[in-house]
Amino acid sequence: MMRAAILAVLAALLPVFAVAQDEAPLRSLATADETRGWEAVGRIDIGDRGFCTGALIAPDIVLTAAHCIFDQKSRQAIEPSEFRFLAGWRNGRAAAYRGVRRAVAHPDYIYEGRDRIDRVPYDIAFLELDQPIRLPSIRPFNVGPDPLAGDAVGIVSYALDRSDAPSIQDLCRVLGNEPGMTILSCDVDFGSSGAPVFEMIDGEPKIVSVVSAKAEMGGKKVALGSEMERPLEELRAAYAANAGTFQKVAPAGGSHVFGQSAGGSAKFVRP
């Protein structure tokens, strides 16, 4: 039922693609200058299983997708010691390296395979680092409200064919919303799971969704992301109940800069 409902929604949204001419292509953040300001996004290596994408929302907390912390074959939670967070990973080096001491999924998330669309609304998790990252160049991101259909957003992610440096899509669109889920035109692939979706709010980029899955409709790629507001509060409560507390994050600095596209829509530009 859920899959049929989502496919129906995606079909209804197909005309949006025809008018979304201001979207930007992915581009690699291959140099130190291009990466500056995005170092809090990193690659999450999972033993020899592969990797996901994640972003710091506190000095010791990485926000990612819940399905990243489960083994596809056994469907059991992966040992935290197998995770490694590589903040700002680029060309064989990271701005900071950290292990993980604890992984906490949303309390309603049940891993039943990566193709379960009905799991998307709960597909968020925290990785608690073994040591906080407190470097001036790596500033955790704040979280914003759920985006609305038509909103301009951006995404920073890693993927299988671009695992050595992050890529940014300066401008993609929210195509629609389902309960607990955001449907996006952003370009994602395997490895992009857990990637932060940003929207410019009050002069700073805030995380408004987390990439859960990719889909295709009418030959067009779409991404499915979890909504943030209620699920994130529920995840915070689950984390706190297990003796975890969030460390205070300093206000965001001015390293992230956004501009206006010719059509007047907010879009990402190089920090």
pLDDT, tens digit (0-9, with 9 covering 90-100), for 36-88: 999 999 999 999 889 999 999 999 999 999 999 999 888 899 999 999 999 99
For residue 21, the model assigns a pLDDT of: 54
**Higher per-residue confidence, 142 vs 219:** 142
Three-state SS string over 84-102 comes to EEEECCECCECCEEEEEEE
Residue 74 domain flag: yes
Domain with residue 95: its CATH number is 2.40.10.10
Residue 73 domain flag: yes
Res. 2: pLDDT tops 60: no
Q: Which residues contact 26 (CB under 8 A, 6 or more apart)?
A: 162, 167, 168, 169, 187
Residue 137 domain flag: yes
Residue 93 domain flag: yes
For residue 115, the model assigns a pLDDT of: 63
What's the domain range around 30?
A: 20-246+260-268
For residue 22, the model assigns a pLDDT of: 73
pTM comes to 0.85
**Higher per-residue confidence, 220 vs 247:** 220
Residue 6 domain flag: no
For residue 251, the model assigns a pLDDT of: 39
- What is the average pLDDT across 201-206? 94
- Give how many domains the chain has, as a whole number: 1
Calculate the average pLDDT of the chain: 84
Residue 13 domain flag: no
- CB-based contact 108:86 (threshold 8 Å): no
Residue 203 domain flag: yes
Residue 221 domain flag: yes
**Higher per-residue confidence, 218 vs 189:** 189
- What is the average pLDDT across 123-148? 97
- What is the average pLDDT across 200-212? 95
